[in-house]
Amino acid sequence: MSNRARIDAVQKAASRSIRTFPRPMDAQGRPVRVSVMFGSRTFNAERMRERLSPDVYARWAETMEHGRKLDRPVADAIAHAVKEWALEEGVSHFCHWFHPMTGSTAEKHDAFLWFDRDGRPIEKFTGSMLLQSEPDASSFPSGGMRSTFEARGYTAWDPTSPMFIMDSPNGRTLCIPSAFLGYHGQALDEKAPLLRSMDALSASATRLLAALGEPAHHRITVTVGPEQEYFLIDRAYAGLRADLVIAGRSLQGARAPKGQMLEDHYFGSIPVRVQAFMEEVELELYQLGVSAKTRHNEVAPCQFELAPIFCEANLAADHNQLVMQTLRRVALRHDFLLLLHEKPFAFVNGSGKHINWSMSDTRGDNLLDPGKDPQQNLRFLTFLAATLLGVYRHAAILRASIASHGNDFRLGANEAPPAIISVFLGDFLTRICDGIAAGDVSTLDPGKAMIELGISRLPSIAKDNTDRNRTSPFAFTGNKFEFRAVGSSASISFPTTCLNAAVADAIDQIGAWISAAGGGPAAVLAAVRRALQESAPVRFDGNGYGAEWVIEAERRGLPHARNTPAALAALATANAAALFERHGILSHEELHSRFEVRVEQYNKKVEIEADVLREMVDTLVLPVGLAELAEAQAQVDLGPAAVRRFRELQARIEALDTARQALDAAAGKVGEGNEAERAASYCANVVPALLTLRETCDGIEAMVTDSRWPLPRYREMLFLS
Ligand code: ADP
Ligand code: MG
């Protein structure tokens, strides 16, 4: 047993050369500008206009605007045009690219290759191939929907998301963003519900705007900008750490002498090797039409962030998948291992994905932007109140939407928002909201009330006043909300779907209150007041990390699901079923399947971690510890220090063995009940047993002679040279 492989890896990591890659150049030999290369690998609206007849283009544009179905001749014309473009670009295959309920993406490739009547090879791509494809649905999770319906499913093109070309080292593939549906139209994926929730929110918001005296809006857009955090470590360590490769996080590792306590990483200068990686990621993303805008170091060592410019929610969801996929692929080229896990390393911060969220009207104006005049401010306040009410009433569902085994290590751990959903508004808006909630606005002339409440002064002050309270899971930041409790590896689709549903529901409630009061500005203000009163408990600007908040939140009656099984239970309630059904987002069956899939995934993840750690203990930690113990025993004649060392090591190995057996006992208790019962048992018994076992491993790592320890250490993996 030696540390040879570990030392080789450390040396390899320290001596990496920095990868450069050929940047695209223009005819004059200058690097091509980002604005010029942006979207060059997408079949975007501009390319469609160039390549489609004016008539076909107009019909496509009309379909987009009104969310109608594409008819076959239009689809055929688009298929022909995209095929010609793709062939010019050297593409040989196409695939429907979709988002099954695994949270990642799936694709099945087909060549354009076909034979004509005379048996000669040709390239063929038709409207029907564009619109629909039939992957074998039985290999994807369906959460029980398969038992009641046929196993088959089909993917259907989402024409609101442009097709794009995926490069691989020896070829190119045309990807067709798609939804994945069962034969009776049940959503088997993350995208279909997201699209439905966007429609629902649009319908509700349009009606409310009409009640506010703005009947001209026919489509409200949900805008989303997800900030993506991630870790990078040298790839040389991957082969030596099954936990990182299989579980995506380290299941063992003694604390490094330096963690993030010097606070020298956040916004620090980016390591050269990482910047070279980021530049290649961005180049790829620009070509794919993804607006990578911001890059910086994050709080933990080896932790970084990428944020795009916001766009329509479904596109943002597709783009975020492309971001994760591109980070992973490019990382390998730079000899990095990308870790998207919420908590890859204990003792330093984990990673999240902040979903910045708002709505904009038909003119592109942000509904959560405080306006310049009382009318605009009334509109701002109404949508603000609706968001508060939605988040308040459906907090448990929002909590469920971000629940995962990985996120359990992050939420409430003094580094990320707590598992209690609350909303941060900042001092100024809090005063306004408190004022409206307390005052008897119904007796006031609305115009006068706005002035008295200081609402006509909203714009500048509100923006300056929304500080950066990082402890809030759902914060108002000037002209948008930021849902910060989302996990870094999660798809943004489901949390966004749940948020859209919650807010659509609250908008309808406010609309109902307004119409019951006969409409008009006074009725609007009264409804806003009622929404603010009801939702007051969800507003919290204090320290979300504090222990007092947990007690206070309980007093306020806010739900607090401390772990994934407890959180997911909210998806199995009549309240959730009614919410999603009412807005045509998920049928009861579709919702239940999501509950099942998530519970099952939780169970599998814990099971995998238990298996991996068991193997690491049995094949590495324990044998190394015993070898060390034998040596220590042979040295006891050397004096009291040697005796103490022997005894201490012996005690630690006994503790390891006890913890190892306790893990088996905990796993044995899980039993064969239903998945939800098993999840509760995994959570209550296996997860803590894993943690104890990990601590005993760390205790041994801290004592074993360095030349014997085989696993790359935290201090080696976490600090890039
Ligand atoms: P932070 O200080 O939290 O990092 P940034 O100003 O960098 O905030 O913005 C974070 C994200 O918010 C970006 O992706 C940005 O595009 C997005 N964003 C800005 N305005 C909106 C909006 N109206 N709707 C959705 N996302 C938005
Ligand atoms: Mg942010």
Least confident range from 310-314, 364-368, 377-381, 618-622: namely 377-381
Check pLDDT > 70 for residue 618.
yes
In 84-152, where do the E strands start and end? 93-98, 106-111, 113-115, 121-123, 132-133
Q: What is the CATH number of the domain that holds 92?
A: 3.10.20.70
Nearest-CA neighbor of 231 among 418, 410, 492, 484?
A: 410
- pLDDT computed for residue 617 by the predictor: 98
Using CA atoms, how far apart are residues 534 and 367, in angstroms rounded to an integer? Answer: 22
The last residue of one of the domains, among 156, 189, 222, is 189
- pLDDT computed for residue 184 by the predictor: 84
Structure tokens at 458: 């909203």
- pLDDT computed for residue 150 by the predictor: 57
pLDDT band at 71 (very low <50, low <70, confident <90, very high): confident
Q: Ligand 1: does its nearest atom lie under 6 Å from the Cβ of 470?
A: no
Q: Cα(456) to centroid of ligand 2, in Å?
A: 27
- pLDDT computed for residue 439 by the predictor: 77
DSSP state of 441: G
Helix ranges (H only) for 294-334 are 313-333
Ligand 1 atom nearest to 226, measured from its CA: 14
DSSP state of 545: T
Q: Return the residue whose CA atom lies nearest to atom 4 of ligand 1.
A: 227
- pLDDT computed for residue 568 by the predictor: 98
The last residue of one of the domains, among 163, 189, 215, is 189
Using CA atoms, how far apart are residues 61 and 234, in angstroms rounded to an integer? Answer: 46
Q: Cα(605) to centroid of ligand 2, in Å?
A: 29
Q: Cα(483) to centroid of ligand 2, in Å?
A: 9
Residue 279: phi and psi, rounded to 5, are: -65, -35
- pLDDT computed for residue 135 by the predictor: 74
- pLDDT computed for residue 464 by the predictor: 46
Q: Stretch 501-514: mean pLDDT, rounded?
A: 98
Least confident range from 75-84, 372-381, 470-479, 712-721: namely 372-381
Q: Ligand 1: does its nearest atom lie under 6 Å from the Cβ of 496?
A: no
First to last CA, the chain: 27
Q: Cα(667) to centroid of ligand 1, in Å?
A: 43
Tell me if residue 355 falls in helix, strand or coil.
strand
Starting from the CA of residue 367, give the closest ligand. Answer: 1
- pLDDT computed for residue 451 by the predictor: 60
Ligand 1 atom nearest to 477, measured from its CA: 3
- pLDDT digit string (tens) for 449-483? 666 665 555 544 454 445 567 789 999 998 999 99
Q: Stretch 691-704: mean pLDDT, rounded?
A: 97
Residue type, 253: G
- Mean pLDDT value across the chain: 91
Question: For residue 546, what are the domain limits?
Answer: 364-499+510-581
Q: Ligand 1: does its nearest atom lie under 6 Å from the Cβ of 309?
A: yes
Run of H or E residues at 337: strand 336-339
- Residue 595 within a domain: no
Starting from the CA of residue 352, give the closest ligand. Answer: 2
- Residue 64 within a domain: yes
Residue with tokens 């309808």: 508
Out of 356, 367, 380, give the residue to mutate to test ligand 1, the one with the largest number of ligand atoms within 8 Å of its CB: 356
Check pLDDT > 70 for residue 261.
no
Q: Ligand 1: does its nearest atom lie under 6 Å from the Cβ of 352?
A: no
- Residue 701 within a domain: no
- Residue 169 within a domain: yes
∠ CA(484), CA(487), CA(492), 5° rounding? 80
Q: Cα(380) to centroid of ligand 1, in Å?
A: 18
Tell me if residue 107 falls in helix, strand or coil.
strand
Q: Ligand 1: does its nearest atom lie under 6 Å from the Cβ of 325?
A: no
For 46-68, b/e burial (b = at least 16 CB within 10 A) is ebbeebbeeebbebbeebeeeee
Using CA atoms, how far apart are residues 55 and 559, in angstroms rounded to an integer? Answer: 54
- Residue 295 within a domain: no
Residue with tokens 């048996």: 119
Burial class (CB in 10 A: 0-12, 13-18, 19+), 590: buried
Using CA atoms, how far apart are residues 220 and 366, in angstroms rounded to an integer? Answer: 10
More reliable by pLDDT, 505 or 181: 505
- pLDDT digit string (tens) for 205-252? 999 999 999 988 889 999 999 999 999 999 999 999 999 999 999 999
Q: Cα(29) to centroid of ligand 2, in Å?
A: 38
Q: Stretch 47-75: mean pLDDT, rounded?
A: 88
Using CA atoms, how far apart are residues 241 and 250, in angstroms rounded to an integer? Answer: 8
Q: Cα(227) to centroid of ligand 2, in Å?
A: 7
The dihedral region occupied by 469, where left means phi > 0, alpha psi between -120 and 50, and beta the remainder, is beta
Contact residues for 125 (Cβ-Cβ < 8 A; gap 6+):
79, 80, 82, 83, 86, 94, 112
Using CA atoms, how far apart are residues 690 and 400, in angstroms rounded to an integer? Answer: 24
- pLDDT digit string (tens) for 315-362? 999 999 999 999 999 999 999 999 999 999 999 999 999 999 999 999
pLDDT band at 653 (very low <50, low <70, confident <90, very high): very high
Least confident range from 85-99, 102-116, 577-591: namely 102-116
Contact 410, 446 (CB under 8 A): no
Q: Ligand 1: does its nearest atom lie under 6 Å from the Cβ of 480?
A: yes
Check the CA dihedral 58-61-66-69 and report its sign: positive
Q: Count H helices, E strands: the chain?
A: 28, 18
Run of H or E residues at 178: strand 171-182
- Residue 308 within a domain: no
pTM of this structure: 0.95
Total number of domains in the chain: 2
Contact 563, 408 (CB under 8 A): yes
Using CA atoms, how far apart are residues 508 and 503, in angstroms rounded to an integer? Answer: 9
Check pLDDT > 90 for residue 65.
no
- Residue 58 within a domain: yes
The last residue of one of the domains, among 166, 189, 212, is 189
Ligand 1 atom nearest to 479, measured from its CA: 23
Q: Stretch 279-285: mean pLDDT, rounded?
A: 97
Q: Ligand 1: does its nearest atom lie under 6 Å from the Cβ of 310?
A: yes
- Percent of the chain at pLDDT above 90? 77
Contact residues for 221 (Cβ-Cβ < 8 A; gap 6+):
198, 202, 312, 313, 359, 360, 361
CA 417 remoteness from chain centre? 15
- Residue 554 within a domain: yes
pLDDT band at 694 (very low <50, low <70, confident <90, very high): very high
Contact 349, 301 (CB under 8 A): no
Q: Ligand 1: does its nearest atom lie under 6 Å from the Cβ of 361?
A: no
Burial class (CB in 10 A: 0-12, 13-18, 19+), 215: exposed
